[in-house]
Amino acid sequence: MISVLVCTHGSAAVGLVETAEMICGKQSQCKALAFTMGQPLEEFKQQVQQVLQSFNSSKVLCLTDLKGGTPFNILVNLTSEYPDLKIVTGVNVPMLLQTFIQRPNLELGQLLPEIIQAGKQGIDNYDINSINSENTESEEF
């Protein structure tokens, strides 16, 4: 099974994983790491390495909050040690749900476009006034 590491600034990673597990159930081979304010970079890098070493699979999907942020940069630097590591930025709950649902059935290369699409589709803008004025019988809320 594909291992999953969610790394974000602050406690967002923990909250995202907890939220997705409320819907999909407890996940194995899944860890959340928070990069905390004032934390030394080397300490965080060591935490990431420990998690990566703990996984039973060399195929690891890393979901981060922000391209160019510290969690992302540390993971990019570790790709030389972990060549099967894949990084996707902009993690959100729909992306994580799709990951949990699809990872038992897909290879890592197949999973990536699925979760990116789910993440994008999970972002929308609803103006309740325009929704009420349109015929929305076929749309669920």
CATH number of the domain within which 118 lies? 3.40.50.510
- pLDDT(141) > 60: no
Q: Is residue 63 in some structural domain?
A: yes
- pLDDT(99) > 90: yes
How confident is the model over 88-96, as a mean pLDDT? 98
Range of the domain at 41: 3-123
- pLDDT(135) > 60: no
The sign of the CA dihedral 37, 40, 41, 42 is negative
H or E stretch at 7: strand 3-9
Question: In this structure, what DSSP letter does residue 30 have?
Answer: E
Q: Is residue 102 in some structural domain?
A: yes
pLDDT in tens, 40-71: 999 999 999 999 999 988 899 999 999 999 99
Q: In terms of DSSP H, where are the helices of 1-141?
A: 12-24, 41-54, 70-78, 93-102, 108-121, 128-133
d(CA 98, CA 111): 9
Q: Is residue 19 in some structural domain?
A: yes
Number of structural domains the chain divides into: 1
Q: Is residue 39 in some structural domain?
A: yes
Q: Is residue 8 in some structural domain?
A: yes
pLDDT confidence tier of residue 132, bands split at 50, 70 and 90: low
> What is the structure's pLDDT at 57?
81
Say which residues have a Cβ less than 8 Å from residue 21's Cβ, sequence separation at least 6. 27, 100
